[in-house]
Structure 1
Amino acid sequence: MNLRSSWVAETGQTREDTRLTQTGVTTMTNPVQVRSGILPGSYGGQYRLSGFWTFGSAAMSATVSEGRAVIQGEISQGVYPVTLPASEVVTFTPGNAQYARVDLLVLRIHDKLYDGGTSTEATIEILEGMAAQDPQPPLVPPRCLPLYEVTVPAGASAGNGGIPWDRALKDLRTPVVALGGILPVEGASLPGAYPGQYQDAGGALQRWDGGAWVSYPSALGGIVPASASTTPASYTGQYRDSTGGQLQRWNGSAWAPAVPGPYFVDNGDFGDTPSTTYTSTLQGRTTNPLALSFTAPPSKAIAVAFGCKMRSQSPDHYAYMALRLTQGSTVVNDLDDDYATIAASQHLISVSTTRRLSGLTPGTTYTLTAFFRVIANNLSLRAGFDNTFIKVDPLP
């Protein structure tokens, strides 16, 4: 039987048995194997990951700080726990005379049962890369956990300044936590092992839903905070607080304002017309017509306000401003004198009105267009309009 156990058999427990049955410091990747990585934590709790932190301590040498890690072997080999109780110094060989190279600083398990070697030990090693015009790091051998890529410039040596440590180190460390623990993400975000697993993605708590990491607020149906506003939406109807401070709702293809509007348009140019039938064009204006598009709210109703400063050149003749509501090419609500703003004056006077429009289709785009006219007359009077505006407020 291939079933392994620890501390059951009176004799014959192997090192393989012990490694395969460890259930402590492990972040699972499948039912048997775990993720290789470093235990998080720092002195004073200021940093996520301090274990095996490396810094340049001499021209060609670096100091590797203390830490604990686990290294997964092949599926039948189990996981190897390692600990560095005190910092250690590693030294890099001088650079190639012509080209740079990229070395790998790694934690490595030598196990003669599997690698055909002569030793069984854990080591900190430098895997030296090939010097080239476009240098690449070396391949990672089995039972090996990369810590850093180190770029060694051409000609680097202790006698000419050595390795520029401030830009030579590329951190490859990734953390692991105990089974069921919340994983602090450093570096690449790897797939989860089971639905319900959690990770802290640097400001956003995420839950693995079986196929993707989902921000914790969205999993609860809550509002995704602005700090995680770049997180992809998970479902239609999800809400988020955008970086601009606007509450938004995912409509299935895009983030849209949760509460549309208000909508407003105006024109401050004076224009007039002698037309006795409604026209959307005012003479003297560079921009015609005055129109406003809006999205109908879930309530199906809006409050429309419109108006202007207007005159008719005569106290006995009237000027009219009215609105037409369309959806595409379809007229939904046509011009009506009963709902127009009306004034009869030889001087400009301010006139406005507000009305409710209901029965709209939620989510549909409508357009309101302003029309103008003067009452029929034989004096060639012109109706004048200035500071015209239209405003739409969605109703709850």
Structure 2
Amino acid sequence: MSVANEHGSFVQRLKERHGQDDDAARRADRLLDLGSTQASEIRRILPQAESEAIKSAAREAHASQPGGPGLRFHSLAEAGRRGVDLDLLRSTQRSNRHLVDDVLRGEGAFSRGELTVRPLEAPFDWPPMVEPPLAVSTVFHPPFAEGWERASFRQAIGGGSVPTYDSYLDPQWGRLGSRMVAQNHDAGDIDQLNVLHYCGFLVPFTTPNTSPLMITVDLTCLVCEHKISTSDEWGWSEFVAFTQSGVALDVFWEHDDGAPMTEDFRQRFVPGLDASGDGESFPGLKVIVGPGERRSLNFLTDVAFPAGKTVWVFVGMSDFMYARLNDVSIDISMDTAWQLTSLTVTAL
């Protein structure tokens, strides 16, 4: 079934009352604080003036030896000549990686989620699809009446930019996802790229009996390509970068509730790229999921809903990419589009 258009004002009222999801802004502030702390520690080991002097000397040496060693070799040699403790510098650069992980890799609070990956060669109905009993379930298919651009966030601190930021949301075909491109070719001490896009669909469900809900999501990949490409010129550089896509889920109690009845749940849906180091090696462009591959997820809510209550179920895709750079150039991108082929809500 499709969601009735008479409920279309719900999404607009939510947008007007509560605006964009502010989790991304709070997370960005925390990441900036971590970056500022690390930058201060780095500057105690390698002051800005000395860093610039080393780079200048390396450029001169490189220019005087055409066809000779590169900037990385000359900069490391000059840093060693000046007595810079590069081992301490590298350990300091990487010391707060676990703090960044804590900020970026949180989980939600639905009871559990089960992911099934269907290989391309499998028949369309593998594993066998059993239609749920209509008395306790509702199955939704495209077109969906209510698409929701729920959250967007683009931040480039330092010399970076986000030249491409497009949404694939299309209720007519059940398409969701995003295409995001960010870059920084002139990174300073602690530059950051922080980009999020979060969109999906809302459907109403009236519970036939008092029970928790099981929500089954079936998606087909249209395109899923991630890229992290880096380069290091100076030898003491360091970076952390990753890409991440997750299925997001909420159940709202009332039309105008800003907060969901069950806590927001985002389960990592595809294995994104995760890269760190001095910038000399990088994953490059990767096809994360092949076009046409199908994935199904089952979720159970952590609360029960009373019989006869109409609740609103939101299912969406959350795409996120992040990079923290210290004198590393980067190109990072995500091109992810999926079709929500069916959404089943069942009262257990």
Q: Which TM class, normalised by the smaller chain length?
A: under 0.3
- TM score, norm. by length of structure 1: 0.19
- Which structure carries more helix by proportion? 2
Compare CA radii of gyration and give the structure with the larger one: 1
